[in-house]
Structure 1
Amino acid sequence: MMDDMITYEQETIYVFDRTYVDYEKFDAYCKKGIYFVSRLKSNAVVEVLW
Structure 2
Amino acid sequence: MPAPGRMGLTSDEREELARLRRENRRLREDVDILKRATASSIGRCNTGLL
TM-score (norm 1): 0.27
Structure whose alpha-carbon radius of gyration is higher:
2
TM-score, normalised via structure 2 length: 0.27
Higher strand fraction (1 or 2): 1
Structure with the larger RCO, 1 or 2 (CA within 8 Å, 6+ apart): 1
**More helix per residue: 1 or 2?**
2
